[in-house]
Amino acid sequence: MKFAIFALATAVLAAGAASASDKVTDVEFLKANRCKGLATTLTGVVDTNSLDSFIKAERGSRAPYVMERAAEEFAKAKKEAKGEDRKERLTAELTGGCQAYLGGASSVAKQ
């Protein structure tokens, strides 16, 4: 009986650890907001609706300071994307690293 309880407790702890690893971190959330800022200014590179969906799905569990920082990242990226000399590098960022945030929260955790 004690072994069964121990095995059950171990299984519950392992399941909790596995589900925690699927959670999108604050850093990933901030990166997604940066991508949205870039995509808003560099139109036609990626679909901003996908980024909006990802951010909307992930914002509920964020602390207020993370939300403030996300707004700052968005505004900073929009401003940065207005420079013509950076367009090539930022387009590469959108078509590279930002792709992780286009398929929903589960695609980030798997990468």
In the chain, the number of structural domains is 1
The answer to whether 24 and 71 have CB atoms below 8 angstroms apart is no
Alpha-carbon span 73 to 109, nearest angstrom = 21
Query: With 50 as the cut, is the pLDDT of residue 16 above it?
Result: no
Per-residue confidence band for 47, with pLDDT thresholds at 50, 70 and 90: confident
Structural domain includes residue 12: no
Structural domain includes residue 39: yes
Q: Structure tokens of 16?
A: 């909790």
Structural domain includes residue 3: no
Backbone dihedral region of 104: left (phi > 0), alpha (psi from -120 to 50 degrees) or beta?
left
pLDDT one-digit tens code per residue, 60-107: 889 999 999 999 999 999 999 998 899 999 999 999 999 999 875 433
Q: What is the pLDDT of residue 23?
A: 86
Structural domain includes residue 94: yes
The answer to whether 70 and 30 have CB atoms below 8 angstroms apart is yes
Structural domain includes residue 83: yes
Short-list 37, 30, 105, CA closest to 68: 30
Alpha-carbon span 60 to 68, nearest angstrom = 13
Q: Structure tokens of 74?
A: 């968005």
Structural domain includes residue 18: no
Average pLDDT over residues 40-55: 91
Q: What stretch of H or E contains 99?
A: none
Query: With 80 as the cut, is the pLDDT of residue 14 above it?
Result: no
Give the domain range for residue 83: 24-110
Structural domain includes residue 32: yes
Structural domain includes residue 9: no
